[in-house]
Amino acid sequence: LHRPPPPEVVEAVANGWLPPSGRMIDLGCGTGEIAAWFAGRGYRATGVDVAAAAIAQAQARHAGLADTLDFVVADLCSAPLDGPPFDIL
């Protein structure tokens, strides 16, 4: 199942409301379509979900973007992610 990003996300990138590059994080990413969309456009994307099964599917589905896309199983209510800050949430 492929779901395109919401039209408002596409419009925000196209109109320059969001930066044209940088680090983005997709919280509750599920199978990673939005994070993958950003990664395919040159962003350094991270998808986070509490569901390990969803992250496993996302990793398999978007393996071709492994250079610009990471997936993490995490409960962000319990602990923050390590690493530099993100430009887009």
pLDDT, tens digit, 9 for 90 and up, residues 9-43: 999 999 999 999 999 999 999 999 999 999 999 99
pLDDT, position 7:
93
Rg of the chain (C-alpha set): 12
- How far apart CA 31 and CA 54 sit, in angstroms, is 5
In order, the DSSP letters of 19-64 are -SSSEEEEET-TT-HHHHHHHTTT-EEEEEES-HHHHHHHHHHTGG
> 50: closest CA among 72, 75, 21?
75
- How far apart CA 52 and CA 89 sit, in angstroms, is 21
Supply the pTM of this predicted model.
0.91
